A and B are shown apart, each in its own frame.
Chain A
Amino acid sequence: MNSLNFNIDNGYLEGLVRGFKGGILKQTDYLNLIQCETLEDLKLHLQSTDYGNFLANEASPLQVSVIDDKLKEKLVIEFQHMRNQSVTPLATFLDYITYSYMIDNIVLLITGTLHQRAISELIPKCHPLGSFEQMEALHIASTPAELYNAVLVDTPLASYFIDCISEQDLDELNIEIIRNALYKAYLEDFYKFCQTLGDSTGAYMSDALAFEADRRAFIITINSFGTELPKDDRAKLYPRCGKLFPDGLAALARADDYEQVRAVAEYYSEYRVLFEESSNNPGEKTLEDKFFEYEVMLMKKAFLDQFHFGIFYAYVKLKEQESRNIIWIAECVAQRHRAKIDSYIPIF
């Protein structure tokens, strides 16, 4: 995929996705949004952006969950259009982007089934980008082995389950372990796929996926403090395609508290800055916020280079961040709790 033949198959879609990127809300739009007093004001301000009249047919009073669904729907429509127009290898690349949503959907459905909810009320809660044909059949399984043999072996995620079906039973803790193990296998597979795609895509996606892998390693470690997850099991969940592999991951596996995690991050200049500028005090940014900011900065870099697939991945991630921002602002407006309304992550 170099500059000579990229445009044969992907030129139109690159132009299209750059057009979509131009419609991502700017700082002035956010300044308008945080001035809103009600959700109706929010809807009015969103009409003048790329979103247009997407909330026009919704019954008033507006609710934040409705806004969330419509935001997601817009991203899904744009993504499906691009997916339908694409050919391999872009089609495979876009499919890989949807696998992360599929993993979330599977975990959601299994958790819901464990809590005896009907499958029909769980399906609407699934993310549309990650839908696959066997979704309706997920409730029949009770052990991971059954789940795999009956339902998942036909999905594109089948190869990620190899590490998981050794679990004995599906329960709360095991579900999270399954989710992280699946995500690890998915990230490593995606990383390998991007390396086969050529220089620009491989280089950009290596950075992007390495950051994702490292972020997950840190979050898994921090979240596992105080739970009964043994350290060996925790170490098996770290994706190996990041900068932390192998030494950082080994050190993280031995960590017992937040200070030790911060000490591991000291060795890596980008992550040290993130840990230094974050803290758990009420007035400052949390670690998650710093990770989001770093991700936004990384995703914006994709658009500086032409003729590579990274822009599609970056676009999906930036739109997700924008959705999170709008929902944050909408929640603050709806609950009239405006103290932290400007803790959204600015994008452009």
Chain B
Amino acid sequence: MASVLTPVYIVLTMALAAFLILSFYYTLTDQGYRYNIGWLLQDTSPYMWANLGIGLGISLSVVGAAWGIFTTGSSILGGGVKAPRIRTKNLVSIIFCEAVAIYGIIMAIVISNQETVFNPQKWSEAERYQLSSQNHHAGYSMFGAGLTVGFSNLFCGICVGIVGSGAALADAQNSSLFVKILIVEIFGSAIGLFGVIISILQVTHAKMGDK
């Protein structure tokens, strides 16, 4: 039975083969300087990194929240058929998952507020160099901040979803179990908060623009 991942493997193998062939060609024809990581990092715009960070931050958070909500929601629906009393109480699990998406939005707003225009023509040579490196630092910080909050919310959302699903099914059988499993969910929710805190720390030192 061919796995669903076979096209992915084929594409990855072809990309790797192309990369290897090209690098051998460059090395053997004395064009090794073309693989220039420094040029790549210096000449790509910090705005690209910043916006990538904002985009990844919010979208990965939403993926995590969505994953958690469907995992918990379908279990609440199923369990609620024979035990209708669980329906309202278990919405708390959904709220925990939703909070993860809200963290993502907050961080995306905070990061994008730091983004301002930098006009290199206004400055002299020395200042331009100093400000430009500051802008690069800001761009990378925002990218990192976005990744931090995005991935930690992704896994937090998945975690809270799976625990919430267990909480709903256990509650349907025995209502004293819900509060105990909720404690596990609270711990799961805390890890998303860690991502937000670190992300804020990363972004407060980012100084973009003309200052």
Closest to B83 in A: A19
Q: Mark B160-173, 1 if CB is under 8 A from A, else 0.
A: 00100110110011
One of B12-20, B74-82, B116-124, B192-200 contacting the partner: B74-82
Distance in Å: Cβ of A345 to nearest Cβ of chain B: 21
Q: What interface size band does chain B fall in? A: 20 to 34
Q: Tell me if B67 and A14 are in contact (CB < 8 A).
A: no
Tell me the chain A residues, 1-36 only, with Cβ under 8 Å from chain B.
3-4, 7-8, 11-20, 22-23
Distance in Å: Cβ of A202 to nearest Cβ of chain B: 15
Q: Tell me if A18 and B162 are in contact (CB < 8 A).
A: no
Q: Which of A4, A14, A19 has the most CB of B within 10 A?
A: A19
Distance in Å: Cβ of B159 to nearest Cβ of chain A: 10
Closest to A20 in B: B82
Closest to B82 in A: A19
Q: Tell me if A8 and B83 are in contact (CB < 8 A).
A: no
Which residues of chain A have C-beta atoms less than 8 A from B148's C-beta?
none
Q: Tell whether A19 pairs with B172 under 8 Å between CB atoms, given A7-B74, A12-B77.
A: yes
Q: Tell me if A306 and B173 are in contact (CB < 8 A).
A: no
CB-contact partner of B78 in A3, A4, A19, under 8 A: A19
Q: Tell me if A7 and B71 are in contact (CB < 8 A).
A: yes
Q: Tell whether A4 pairs with B67 under 8 Å between CB atoms, given A11-B74, A18-B172, A18-B173.
A: yes
Tell me the number of A-to-B contacts counted with CB atoms below 8 Å. Answer: 66
Q: Mark A192-220, 1 if CB is under 8 A from B, else 0.
A: 00001000000000000000000000000
CB-contact partner of B168 in A4, A15, A22, under 8 A: A15
Q: Mark A66-102, 1 if CB is under 8 A from B, else 0.
A: 0000000000000000000000000000000000000
Which residues of chain B have C-beta atoms less than 8 A from A18's C-beta?
78-79, 169, 172-173
Which residues of chain B have C-beta atoms less than 8 A from A20's C-beta?
82
Q: Mark A94-127, 1 if CB is under 8 A from B, else 0.
A: 0000000000000000000000000000000000
A4 to B165, CA, bound (A): 11
Which residues of chain A have C-beta atoms less than 8 A from B81's C-beta?
15-16, 19
Q: Tell me if B83 and A7 are in contact (CB < 8 A).
A: no
Distance in Å: Cβ of A152 to nearest Cβ of chain B: 27
CB-contact partner of A7 in B1, B75, B80, B172, under 8 A: B75
Distance in Å: Cβ of A347 to nearest Cβ of chain B: 15
Q: Tell me if B78 and A12 are in contact (CB < 8 A).
A: yes
Distance in Å: Cβ of B55 to nearest Cβ of chain A: 23
Closest to B165 in A: A7
Closest to A17 in B: B78
A273 to B83, CA, bound (A): 39
Closest to A6 in B: B71
Q: Tell me if A11 and B75 are in contact (CB < 8 A).
A: yes
Which residues of chain B have C-beta atoms less than 8 A from A16's C-beta?
78-79, 81-82
Distance in Å: Cβ of A176 to nearest Cβ of chain B: 36
Closest to B77 in A: A12
Distance in Å: Cβ of A319 to nearest Cβ of chain B: 14
Q: Tell whether A306 pairs with B165 under 8 Å between CB atoms, given A4-B158, A8-B70, A19-B83.
A: yes
Which residues of chain B have C-beta atoms less than 8 A from A17's C-beta?
78
A7 to B165, CA, bound (A): 9
Q: Tell me if B82 and A11 are in contact (CB < 8 A).
A: no
Closest to B168 in A: A15
Distance in Å: Cβ of B81 to nearest Cβ of chain A: 5
Q: Which of B70, B74, B172 has the most CB of A within 10 A?
A: B74
| B residues neighboring A (CB under 8 Å) | 1, 67, 70-71, 73-83, 158, 162, 165-166, 168-169, 172-173
Top 4 A-B pairs ranked by shortest CB distance? A15-B78, A19-B82, A11-B74, A15-B79
- Interchain Cβ contacts under 8 Å between A and B, 18 examples: A4-B71, A7-B75, A8-B70, A11-B71, A11-B78, A11-B165, A14-B78, A15-B78, A16-B81, A18-B169, A18-B173, A19-B82, A19-B83, A20-B82, A22-B172, A196-B1, A306-B165, A306-B169
Known: A4-B71, A11-B70, A18-B169. 13 other contacts (CB 8 A): A3-B71, A7-B70, A15-B76, A15-B172, A16-B78, A18-B79, A18-B173, A19-B78, A19-B83, A20-B82, A306-B165, A306-B166, A306-B169
